[in-house]
Structure 1
Amino acid sequence: MFIYKVSGIFATSRPAFLVLSPCCLSIAVAFAFVHAETIQPIQLLLILLAGVTAHASVNMFNEYSDFVSGLDFQTQRTPFSGGSGSLPARPELAKPVRLIAFINLLITLLIGLYFLSQRGLDLLPIGLIGILLIYFYSDQITHNPWLCLIAPGLAFGPLMVNGAYFVLTGQYNLGVAFASLIVFFLVNNLLLLNQFPDVAADQNVGRQHLPILLGRKKSAYIYVTFLAAAYGILIFSVWQTYLPTFSLLGLLTLFLAIPAANLSVRYANDIAHLKPALLLNVLVTLTTPALIAIGIMLD
């Protein structure tokens, strides 16, 4: 019974998606290995832990919010959207899930305070904005279409990538900043396309994101624009030597991104045929930062 309960709570963290944090952080770590004289293993472990607990926290807050609002009972789940389904199946887990979400947030906060004590107040804006995004995402940010559009990418890109690099090196770097913008556009797209199947259900509970505001078709063109921006920034950054040449390994995911873009526009209003695009979108978001990190190390 205990294991069954724990597994149900754990499922609300969306564990399959928690790999996104290490993939995004890999860019900061790769740059730090190139630029820093020494890297402390404890710092790497704490950065990874903070990234994963922050991600798990926002996922669990979101699952709790979707259950309480009734959204969970209206969505048609896909492997990439609609939540885990754990709380509708096990309503008694709702309060424990919310408690664990707060515990994860507290762990993230404590690690952030430790890094703040080590590196100084230059890290404070990143940490403060990150905590606010985690706590307010589900119940506040998801009701503002434009903020909802950029909040995920802001958290995993400029905040997480630049923050991790600063912790490891004690400084900020323009190349890291440009790389974080690539993550910004990719992660925004990850959430944007995953909202397509949930438009009707989200609208019923008062959420306001871009596919509700503009419709799926126009949102699909924004998705394509964000993809183009991500790859465009990568090429520009290498051209201007902000990123090393081997970072162009990230362009290998174009063979996934181009079909995803095509499918998103073609089947924006046909969710059954859109599902392959959701998978391709996940693969692009996970593998592109990892390939860029590999390229930085190789160069």
Structure 2
Amino acid sequence: MQPTLQTQTSPEIQKSTGWKIWWKLTRPHTLTAAFVPVFIGTALARLDTKIDIPLFLAMLLACLIIQAATNMINEYYDYKRGLDHAESVGIGGAIVRDGIKPETVLRLAFTLFGIAVLLGVYICLHSNWWIAVIGTACMLVAYLYTGGPVPIAYTPFGELFAGLFMGLIIILISFYIQTNTITTESILISVPIIILVGAILMANNIRDLDGDKENGRKTLAILLGRQNAIRFLAMMFTVSYVWIVALVFSTDVTLWLLLVLISIPKSIHAIKGFIGKTQPIQMAPAMKATAQTNTIFGFLLSIGLFISYWL
């Protein structure tokens, strides 16, 4: 380890204390991928019906809990497979830095899954029991992302699974529990969120490319190579914005959806943050900017939908 890199990463490897340990274990920068789709699905439903606030809150909390549990399972299995160490960037670090027992982290993850199941029962009681089947599939994929004999995270399909289950599925469930239906519009509006949730994972894999390659992973970023992966990430951003513009001018969706264009500078900042960088700590700001792009884009999309309702 080079001295300069050690100096750069020292803030990252300081031990946390008290509640900060558990908060960092949730990897809060990733939670936007959970609550943004809920907001969008709910905002879209507001165009057709009055929002059931308790259902919305139950759905929001369940998604946040499942995402946090997924991160903990990731932490556990990456530690067990020797991927995480004290200098690793972008991890919670409860195991390798703060001395929390790996089994405690895994038990906490399954406890959170249990809480999500209880919230799911409430949601099903007020909508449809098919939601239970879909929710179970979501939690299974969450576990298999880094657990199981062939973790999804070790394959080129991580971005696809993340986008479909955390983008499309969450938006459609959030919309369905309020309206009892699925529309073509709800599916079409989900597409850029599918892409941007996948972009968060792509950014993560670009940052971790060298370490992942050494540990036998075959992520999409590794298969493409660093430069092409950065170009692919830029294309993901571009398609997301072009998709919304195309929807506005080719369908009857509201012109207010163009508010998402305000988030373009953040996506450009993310891409520039990766160019010419090779050390994970150097790319951490770009990773953060990618997650922020998803957050800002999603909130602006939701605001556009709400404005169209009031106007």
Query: Secondary structure of 2:96's partner?
Result: helix
TM-aligned CA deviation for residue 127 of structure 1: 2.4
State the partner residue of 1:43: 55
- Residue of structure 1 aligned with 2:135, choices 91, 107, 127: 127
The residue correspondences of 1:56-205 to structure 2 (distance < 5 A) are 56-73=68-85, 76-77=88-89, 81=90, 83-120=91-128, 122-123=130-131, 126-139=134-147, 140-145=151-156, 147-205=157-215
Q: CA deviation at 1:201?
A: 2.0
**Structure 2 stretches lacking a partner, 5+ long:** 1-15
Deviates more, 1:285-294 or 1:12-21: 12-21
Number of aligned positions between the proteins: 290
Per the alignment, residue 222 of structure 1 pairs with: 232
Match of 2:8 in 1: none
CA distance in 1, matches of 2:135, 2:100: 33
Percent identical: 23
> 1:52 maps to which residue?
64
Q: Does 1:291 align with 2:300?
A: yes
Contact 2:164 2:194 in 1 (8 A): yes
* Pair 1:14 & 2:27 matched: yes
Whether the aligned pair in 2 keeps the contact of 1:162 and 1:177 (CA below 8 Å) is yes
The answer to which of 63-72 and 195-204 deviates more is: 195-204
1:86 match: secondary structure: coil
Quickly say closer, same or farther: Cα 1:268–1:179, change in 2 above 3 A: farther
User: Scaled by the length of structure 2, what TM-score is found?
Assistant: 0.85
Aligned-residue offset at 1:263: 4.5
Between 1:193-202 and 1:121-130, the stretch displaced more is 121-130
Partners of 1:16 and 1:260 lie apart in 2 by 14
Give the SS at the match of 2:146: coil
Compared with structure 1, are the counterparts of its residues 166 and 27 closer, same or farther at alpha carbon in structure 2 (3 Å cutoff)? same
**Structure 1: segments with no counterpart, 5+ residues:** none
RMSD: 2.3
Q: Distance in 2 between matches of 1:233 and 1:128?
A: 31
2-structure distance, mates of 1:150, 1:67: 24
CA distance in 2, matches of 1:186, 1:214: 18
